[in-house]
Structure 1
Amino acid sequence: MRNLLISAEARAFGRISVLCDAMRRYLRLPRERTHICPLGANPIPILTRDMSCLRLLYVGTFLNRRLSEAIKGFAIYCREEGASTDAHFTLVGDSEDGERHRLQMLVHELGLTDRIALPGYVPRERLTSYYECCNVGVSYVPMTPYYDCQPPTKTYEYFFAGMPVIATATKQNAVIVSDDNGVLIDDTPDAFCSGLRVLAQRLRLYDSGKILSSVSDHSWYNIMTNNALPFIEAVALAHEE
Structure 2
Amino acid sequence: MNIAVIGGTGLIGSQVVKNLNAAGHQAVPHSQSTGVDIITGQGLEEAVSGADVVVNLTNSPTFDDASIGFFQASMDNLLTASEKGGVGHFVILSIVGVDQVPGLDYYRAKVLQEDLLKGGPVPYSIVRATQFMEFMDATLAMTTDGDTVRLPRTPIQPIAAAEVAAVVAEVAAGAPLNGVLDISGPDVYPLDELGRLTLTAKGRAGSVVTDDAAGMFAVVPGDVLTAPDGARITATHYTDWLAGR
- In which range does the TM-score fall when normalised by the shorter chain? under 0.3
Q: Which of these two proteins has the greater Rg computed from alpha carbons?
A: 1
Higher helix share: 1
> Which one scores higher on RCO, CA 8 angstroms, separation ≥ 6?
1
Higher strand share: 2
